[in-house]
Amino acid sequence: MRNLRPVRILRAGFTLIELLAVILIISILAVALLPMVTDAVESAGTAGCQANLSNIYNSVIHYRTKYKRLPNESGVKFFVQPYASSAIEQTKANAERLTCPAVDPGALYIGSLPWEEWYSDLTVVNGDYSAYAGRDCKRFPLRKLTGKEPLVSDDNDPAMNHATTTNVLYADGSVQTFELFTLQEEGVLMDGEEVLYVGLESPVEDLRKLSLD
């Protein structure tokens, strides 16, 4: 008489309880990891912006070397002037460095122009062309590239730029990052206030020397 082996019954899939347990675990992990992902995106945008500002500083240096003077336009035109004057090569890559990498280009004025032609004509460039603010040379003429004189910063629109930081480029080539939370703790900004304005009414002294137009 043959020995009868037990028959194994294979299940087709998960039970409802097992499926709900997997969904619950994934949800918990998503909630736990979301802040980390957000912080990583913010850090990457800030680092990219700092690199852009350093490139803008180099373009100002090239302009001074070629024309024996510093850019004298104000606002966005200040840091576009080296590009428009061909002190730096008018390429797509150089044009892209004239706006914050955290910003969707679709939110800026593009029209039908390609990247490299955006900033080629200073007569039409204004604050809609970039996510940066430039030196207000009309009110605060720039004499030399030394010290902590602000040159360029984020234009500080929280819907477009970094949610928690503002980067500022100075005349000595350094870039300083202002943390909005820190400014709130110091009383520079009101609790919950997310916009750090540039211009004469800015709560930060350095940003009063910058403008969009």
pLDDT tens digits, 139-186: 999 999 988 999 999 876 656 667 678 899 999 999 999 888 888 888
In terms of pTM, does the model score above 0.75? yes
pLDDT in tens, 91-133: 999 998 998 887 777 777 666 778 888 889 999 888 888 889 9
Task: Report whether 149 contacts 87 (CB < 8 A).
Answer: no
Task: Report whether 131 contacts 159 (CB < 8 A).
Answer: no
Task: Report whether 47 contacts 39 (CB < 8 A).
Answer: no
> DSSP H helical segments within the chain, as ranges?
16-67, 76-84, 92-96, 180-185
3 state SS of 36: helix
DSSP one-letter code for 200: T
The sheet with strand 210-211 has its strands ordered as: 175-179, 165-170, 150-154, 132-135, 210-211
